[in-house]
A and B are shown apart, each in its own frame.
Chain A
Amino acid sequence: MLHFSPWKQVAIIVTCLLGLLLVVPNFVSKETLAQWPRWVPKTQLNLGLDLRGGAHLLLSMEVADVRKDWLNTLRDDARRRLREAKIPFTALGITNNAVQVRLAKAEDTDAALKTLRGLIQQTGNALLGTSITDLEVTKAEGGLIRLAPTEAGLQHRISSAVGAAIETVRRRVDAMGTTEPTIVRQGSSRILVQVPGLHDTAQLEELIGKTARLTFHEVHASTSAEEGRQRPPPGYKVYESEDKEEGAQLLNETPVVRGDELVDAQPGFDQRTNEPIITFRFNNAGARKFGNFTKDHVNRPFAIVLDDKVISAPVIREPILGGSGQISGNFTVETATQLAIQLRSGALPAKLTIIEKRTVGPSLGADSIEAGKLAGIIGGIATIILTILAYGTFGLFACVGLIVHGLLTVALMSLAGSALTLPGIAGLVLGIAMAVDANVLIYERIREEVRAGRTAIAAIDAGFTRAFITIADSQLTTLACALVMFWLGAGPIRGFAVTLTIGICTSIFASVTVVRLLIYYWLNSNKRVHRAIELPV
Chain B
Amino acid sequence: MRFIPNFKGYDFFPHDLRLPFMRYKGICLALSIVGMALSLLIIGVKGFNYGVDFKGGSMLEVQSVSGPADIAALRDKLGKLGLGAVQIQSFGKPTDVLIRVEQQPGGDAEQQVALKKVTDALAGQYTQLRVELVGPAVSSELRMTGIIAVFAGLLAIVAYVWFRFEWQFALGAIVALTHDVLLVAGIFSLLQLEFDLSIVAALLTILGYSVNDTVVVSDRIRENLRKFKRMDLNELLNLSINETLSRTILTGVTAIAVLISLYIFGGEVIRNFNLAMLLGVVIGTYSSIFIAAPLLGYLGVKREWVGAAAPKPASAASAARKARRENLALK
Contact = CB atoms under 8 A, between A and B. Distances in A.
Nearest to A481: B208
Interface in A341-366: 353-361, 363-364
Interface in B313-330: none
Contacts, number: 256
Contact of A488 (B149, B257, B274): B149
A355 to B, nearest CB: 4
A434 B286 CA distance: 17
B201 A379 contact: no
B148 interface: yes
Contacts of B257: 379, 382-383, 386, 433
On chain B, which size bracket covers the interface?
35 or more
B265 A375 contact: yes
Given A354-B108, A360-B130, A480-B160, A490 B153 contact: no
B112 interface: yes
The main secondary structure of chain A at its interface with chain B is: helix
Contacts of A426: 262, 266, 270, 273-274, 277
A537 B9 contact: yes
B208 to A, nearest CB: 4
B216 interface: yes
Contacts of B304: none
B6 A393 contact: yes
Given A476-B160, A480-B156, A493-B149, A392 B9 contact: yes
Interface stretch (B20-28, B41-49, B78-86, B248-256): B248-256
Contact of A473 (B2, B128, B219): B219
B242 to A, nearest CB: 11
B101 interface: no
Given A368-B269, A375-B265, A426-B262, A358 B148 contact: no
A319 B246 CA distance: 92
Interface stretch (B29-37, B135-143, B292-300): B135-143
Contacts of A391: 9
Interface in A112-163: none
B121 interface: no
A408 B157 CA distance: 26
Contacts of A388: 9
Interface residues of A, number: 89
B70 to A, nearest CB: 21
Given A437-B251, A524-B1, A432 B258 contact: yes
A497 to B, nearest CB: 8
A354 B156 contact: no
A17 interface: no
A474 B205 CA distance: 13
A340 B107 CA distance: 30
A492 to B, nearest CB: 6
Contacts of A230: none
B243 interface: yes
Nearest to A355: B135
Nearest to B164: A473
Contact of B197 (A355, A484, A491): A491
Nearest to A353: B108
B312 interface: no
A380 B257 CA distance: 9
B1 A521 contact: yes
Contacts of A321: none
Given A355-B135, A372-B267, A477-B215, A490 B274 contact: no
Contacts of B223: 466
Contacts of A382: 254, 257-258, 261
B133 interface: yes
Contacts of A5: none
Interface string B93-132: 0000000000000011100100100000000000111111
A425 B274 CA distance: 11
A95 B93 CA distance: 59
Nearest to B119: A202
A313 interface: no
Contact of A481 (B9, B137, B156, B266): B156
A311 to B, nearest CB: 23
A396 B259 CA distance: 22
Most buried by A among B4, B132, B219, B266: B266
A447 B133 CA distance: 54
Nearest to A364: B129
B207 interface: yes
Contacts of B197: 490-493
Given A360-B129, A375-B265, A488-B152, A383 B138 contact: no
A286 B115 CA distance: 42
A325 interface: no
The main secondary structure of chain B at its interface with chain A is: helix
A368 B132 CA distance: 17
Contacts of B160: 476-477, 480
Contacts of A448: 15, 243
Interface string A385-407: 01111111111100000000000
A480 B138 CA distance: 26
A485 B204 contact: yes
B100 to A, nearest CB: 14
Contacts of B201: 423, 485, 489, 492-493, 496-497
A374 interface: yes
Nearest to B251: A437
Contact of B264 (A58, A375, A396): A375
B153 A361 contact: no
A396 B5 contact: yes
Contacts of A481: 153, 156-157, 204-205, 207-208, 211
A526 B6 CA distance: 10
A434 B11 contact: no
Nearest to B218: A473
A536 B262 contact: no
Nearest to A478: B208
A216 B259 CA distance: 64
A123 B107 CA distance: 33
Contact of B145 (A354, A393, A443, A490): A490
Interface in B144-166: 145, 148-149, 152-153, 156-157, 159-161, 164
B209 interface: yes
Interface in A403-447: 422-423, 425-427, 429-430, 432-434, 436-437, 440-441, 443-444, 447
B331 interface: no
B212 interface: yes
Contacts of A487: 152
A474 B164 CA distance: 11
Contacts of A491: 197
Given A422-B267, A493-B198, 19 more contacts: A354-B108, A379-B259, A380-B258, A386-B250, A390-B10, A393-B6, A396-B4, A422-B269, A426-B273, A429-B262, A430-B258, A432-B258, A451-B15, A466-B223, A480-B157, A481-B157, A484-B156, A490-B197, A536-B7
Q: Which 7 A-B pairs have the closest CB atoms?
A: A525-B1, A371-B267, A392-B9, A379-B258, A355-B135, A478-B208, A391-B9
24 contacts: A359-B128, A361-B127, A379-B261, A389-B9, A392-B10, A426-B270, A430-B259, A432-B258, A433-B251, A434-B209, A444-B247, A470-B216, A473-B219, A481-B204, A484-B152, A484-B156, A487-B152, A488-B149, A492-B197, A492-B201, A493-B149, A534-B8, A536-B9, A537-B11
